[in-house]
Structure formats: C-alpha cells, structure tokens
Chain A
Amino acid sequence: MMDWPTRFDRRHFVGTLAGMGAFAALGSITKPVAAFAMDHGPELTAAEMQGRELVRFPGKVPMILLTDRPPQLETPLQYFFSDLTPNDAFFVRWHLSGIPTTVDLRTFRLEVSGLVQKPLSLSLDDLKSKFEPVSVVAVSQCAGNSRSFFRPMVPGGQWTHGAMGNAQWKGVRLKDVLDAAGVRAGATEVYLHRLDVPPVQATPPFEKSLSLDHARDGEVMIAYEMNGDPLPMLNGFPIRLVVPGWYATYWVKSLSSITVADQPLKSFWMQKAYRIPNNATANEDPSHLSQDTVPINRMAVHSIFLRPGPGEKLLAGRSYQLEGLAMDGGSEIRRVEVSKDGGQSWTDANLDPEIGKYSWRRWRADWTPPARGNYHLMARATNAAGEAQLTSQWNRSGYQRSVIEQYDAVVL
C-alpha cells in the first residue's frame, strides 16, 4: 500500500549513496538519467500526474509541468502537508514569455509616479530601510486553480489543485509607499507594472490595477521576502505585490513601477481577461454566456482533499484520518463538513488552530470505512460570512472554483 505522504529526504538519500561509494564514479556520466523520479519519490501517483511530467526549473523542486515557455508549474499536493508552502515548491505562473531572467539589485528601482507630489525611485534597500516592515501569512491562489475540474472543460491552464500556496510574506505596506510619494487629490486607481515583457510588440504587457482605496487599505503589501527568504526569481524576485484575500492575478510579480491615476487602467488584463460573470457565484450557462462581467477579485470559499491521496486505496475496518485544506478571501474559515455518502449526511471536521484569516485552514476527520466498496467523499467549507461552497458552478474561463470538493474513495 502506498505510504502517503512519504517525503523524500534528500540529505539522507545523498548520504546513503555516498556511503555506497557512488562518489567514485562521479567523473563519468555515460548513462541516461531519469527525469527526477528518484528526487520525488513514489508518492506522486498516476492519479495525480494524469500523464503530466515532472520538470526542473531554476530554484525549484521537480514540479508538475503545464507549460515551459512561459513557465506554468504546479505544486505537487504532498507539499500541502506543510502549513507554509516551501518557496522551492511554490507554484509558478507567467503569462508572457519575456520573463525576467536577470535582476541586478544595484540598478533595480521601483518607480512610483503619476498623480503624486513626489515621484519615487526606490532600491530594494530603500524599501527595507525606509519603511516599516510588516508580515502576513496568506494564500496566493491562481484565479484558474482547479480549472481542470470544470465540466465542460474550458481552454486555459489545466491546473488541478496545485496552483496555490500559503506563505509568510514580509515587506512594506503599499499604503506607506504611496503616502511617501504623496497621492494627489482626484486619484482613484493604482496601476502596477512588471519587469516581464511581451514576446512581440502587439501583445499587451501584463498590467493590473487596484482601486486607490484598496491599495491604501494597509494590508496590500510590497513583499521582498517569502517564508524568510528572498522571492525565487520565478515567483517575482525581487519584489511582488501581496493582495491578501484576492486571487493571485493581482499579486503582481517582479513589480517594477506603480502609477497613480484618476482613470481605470485600459489594459487587456483588466478589461478582457480575468473577468467573471457578475454574480455571487461566478456562474454562467455554457449555452448562454453572461454579457455582464466584472474583474475577478476576492477569493471564493474553496477546499481540497489531501488524504486520501490521489489514487490511494483504503482498507475496510481500518481507521483513517481524512485531511484537507480550506480557504477563502479572508472572512475566516469557520466550518468544514465531510460526507462519506455523497452528500446525504454530513459531519463536522476538526479544524486546526487558525494561522491567520488570510491563511488556509487545515481540517481533519476520522473515518473507518465500514465495508468494502466505493464511497463518494465530499468536503464543504463555510466561512464566517456564511459563504459556503457550491453544489454546481461553471464559467467560460474556469475561474474561482468553489464547488464542494469530491473524492471517489475505493475501499478494499
């Protein structure tokens, strides 16, 4: 039976093989080498991989490949047994192939301009030394996380549940930076620009905007650290925006300049992309697409199963602990219920202590499968605002998935 999760201990592995005398032959590589199967252990099941490949990118453990140029890499579920997702396993999602591959901190500056009294040009050291550092634990989740579970399937990154991660972010308040520049009267918007560039001139550069009120709420952060370390290049080195509770499309990576303005940003990425049907559940009918759309914003209630793991088979009469994660847009997860009979009856799961309202929350529920057979497990989270997961949902872009999570368990 699969041992889920069994984390591969790299140090142990290296030490063991070194002891076996493998060092002696280091000079000559003549045989082809595996695509990291050994580095990642057997816990990545066919059920999780779904034919996808594990690949290696700079500063990253082997990740599930969606696309290589620009990179879109999914976090294997095993890393979600940690409350904080390791930086080197944190998901990666870029839109334009001209992503930054070199950053020189001696010349890097964050420019703040537009409707401000005093334009700023800040080095990373300026940010660290001239502003009060703050930190928050928050989930960063791609708007299209779990997209591959929508039916009918929709074009886009075919993520399973690994386009998210939970980290402790450290940086400075966007509000403090804006205050230092002195926002002028009449300003309503803050535009955010990045270091990456489109592959051809006609492609719209990736730009996002926040309302000035949101940008000055004291929670939106310019982060320079993630789990105590600099950001990986692929996660936005040297600085990125952290917008607690909002989908990651607003967490602008490799943030390079901020423009304060009095008009909504005219950008493909705000006006055409990353929009959802203008209703509470981001729902629409495939045959009658909604004409009324709004930019995606706060995260919906979402939950996932970690145990049983993908493809794991269980034994009748043995006790198990079901485990998973639940998250929302910052109203705090208050309740997770689990069903083992396809939603006919529900029991409350136990919630781990809260880490922070923008963190995910771990849930656990004991279960002893009474007999062999197939069981339709479900998990349904509810937040403090009373928002619960949905029984059905679909939209053309596969955004904001909030459907009650399901797991078909096989008990032998």
Chain B
Amino acid sequence: MKMQRVLIVLVMAVAGFGTCALRAQQAAHANSQTDDAAANNPVQKISLPSYPPELPPGPGSEAFRNNCLICHSARYVTMQPRFTKAVWQAEVQKMITAYGATITPANKDAIVEYLVSFHGTKDADAQQVPGATAPK
C-alpha cells in the first residue's frame, strides 16, 4: 500500500499537475498509520498536516493570531458563512466563557472587528444566502 501511495504522489509530481508542493509532502506522510498497522506495530503514530488559510492583513489581525490560533486553526473562521457582528461577538464570547480563552476586553473588540472586516456581513439575511458561504 505504501509503495502504491508514494508512487501516486510521485507520478503526479512527474506529470506536473497542479500548484502546491507542500500538499504533496503532506500526502507522502499521510498514510504512515496504514503502514504501521500492516506491520502490526504496537505503536501507532501519525503526523498531522496543517492547511492554514490565507488571512488578510488588517487591524486586529495580530490579536486574532495571538489569541485564537493557540487552540484552533483559522479554518474555524473561514469555514463559516459571513456572519453579522453580533454573531461574531457571541462566538468570541463563547470562546472566553465556555472554552476558557483568556482574552482581554481590548483584544476581544479587536478580534471581533477583524473577523467582521473579512468575514462579516451587515445584513443578517445575507447569512441565509448559500453564496454567502465563503470558505476561502
């Protein structure tokens, strides 16, 4: 199995499809667990890849990076629909209240502003439009 999968990656490389070398490296180690299982190795080990989204610069981006990315990737934002400021405020508050994030009030405001700046909407109804889902 390992050989097959490695070959797929390499063959794809040779064939020159696409755009992202990083993804190929991730694929190459992606199936290490299968190999271990096949060998009856009592130790199962995986390495987790990361797929960080591109984040725009802007006010609050530093507060966002410093406070939010400790616990989860920015995909947690980018997979959501564009939400209103009220929804983003509630989400950041949930991180503080429910998940114990230590975010100062000033940073909280900055984070909300930042989220609204690139993933917000003024119109609550816009959340209902499927096209408003902008995971990119």
State which size class the interface on A falls in.
35 or more
Name B41-83 residues within 8 Å CB distance of A: 42-52, 70-73, 75-76, 79-81, 83
- Supposing A26-B10, A33-B17, A59-B34 touch, asked if A103 and B52 sit within 8 A by C-beta, the answer is no
- Give the Cβ gap from A151 to chain B, nearest Cβ, in Å: 5
Q: A335 on the interface (CB 8 Å rule)? A: no
Contact A22 B135 (CB under 8 A): no
Number of interface residues of B (CB under 8 A): 66
Contacts A29-B10, A66-B75, A101-B47; A58 near B100 (Cβ below 8 A): no
**Which of B12-29 touch A at CB < 8 Å?**
12-21, 23-24, 26-27, 29
Interface set, chain A 144-203, CB cutoff 8 A to B: 148, 151-153, 155, 157-158, 199-203
What are the interface flags for A69-80 relative to B under an 8 Å C-beta threshold, 1 for contact and 0 otherwise?
111000000000
Q: Is B117's CB within 8 Å of the partner chain A?
A: no
Across chains A and B, the number of contacting residue pairs, with CB separation under 8 Å, is 202
Chain A 8-45, CB-CB to B under 8 Å as 1, else 0, gives: 00110110011000100110010111111111000000
- Tell me the chain B residues, 85-111 only, with Cβ under 8 Å from chain A: 87, 90-91, 98-102
Determine if A313 is an interface residue (Cβ-Cβ < 8 Å).
no
Write the nearest CB–CB distance from A230 to chain B, whole angstroms: 6
Q: CB distance B46 to A67 under 8 Å?
A: no
* Inter-subunit contact A272/B75 (CB<8 Å): no
Could you say which residues of chain A place their CB within 8 Å of the CB of B72? 67, 69-70, 97, 199
Which of A233-241, A337-345, A358-366 participates in binding chain B? A233-241
Q: A217: CB under 8 A from chain B?
A: no
In chain A between 48 and 102, which residues have their CB closer than 8 angstroms to a CB of chain B? 50-53, 55-60, 65-71, 88, 97, 99, 101-102
Can you name 29 A-B residue pairings with CB atoms under 8 Å?
A26-B7, A29-B13, A29-B21, A29-B24, A32-B21, A33-B12, A33-B19, A35-B19, A35-B23, A36-B12, A50-B133, A57-B49, A59-B31, A59-B33, A59-B46, A68-B49, A68-B75, A101-B47, A101-B48, A102-B43, A103-B45, A104-B44, A148-B133, A155-B87, A157-B79, A202-B101, A204-B99, A233-B46, A273-B98
